[in-house]
Amino acid sequence: MAVAAVKEYVGVPKDTQDKFHGAQLTFIGWLDHLMFCAPFAVPLPPDMPFGAIIEGVLPGACGHHPDFAKIDWSTVEWTKGGKPFSPDPAKSLTENGMRHKDSITFRTPGLTGIKGSST
């Protein structure tokens, strides 16, 4: 059965960047690692260098996984919004083209979860 709206619905987002005290939400997922069921949402300053994600954010979020210490960061494959992404670790998130609520993932070749659980 078709439904007709009485009036047009106008949604007002409640999670705009101004609500995060200057930070931007960034969703970060580690592919092939089933210990983490979904990407992490972290508020990050837009002027933070991308390398700080690797050195400061990910160890706290993923460091307890047995594969984390084995990551060769020079071989990591990044995506942003589902497309290949080559971030410059020295440049800020903004300079790397990252915006509020962007989603990035990383794949670690040769590491496929606890005892290869993702293969």
Percent of the chain scored above 90 by pLDDT?
Answer: 77
How many other CB atoms sit within 10 Å of the CB of residue 15? 11
Return the H-helix or E-strand segment holding 1.
Answer: none
* Cα–Cα nearest to 61, from 78, 44, 85: 44
Contact call for residues 80 and 63 (beta carbons, < 8 A): no
- 15-68 pLDDT, tens digit each: 999 999 999 999 999 999 988 889 999 999 999 999 999 999 999 999 999 999
pLDDT computed for residue 80 by the predictor? 97
For residue 46, give both structure tokens: 């837009």
Q: Model confidence at 3, in pLDDT bands (50, 70, 90)?
A: confident
Contacts of 72 (CB under 8 A, 6+ apart): 108
Confidence label for 116 from pLDDT (cuts 50, 70 and 90): confident
Domain 22-116 architecture? Roll (3.10)
CA nearest 47: which of 84, 12, 22? 22
- pLDDT bucket at 87, cuts 50 / 70 / 90: very high
Distances (CA, A) of 15 to 6, 23, 48, 96: 27, 11, 20, 22
Q: Is the pLDDT of residue 119 over 80?
A: no
Please state the pTM of the whole predicted model: 0.86
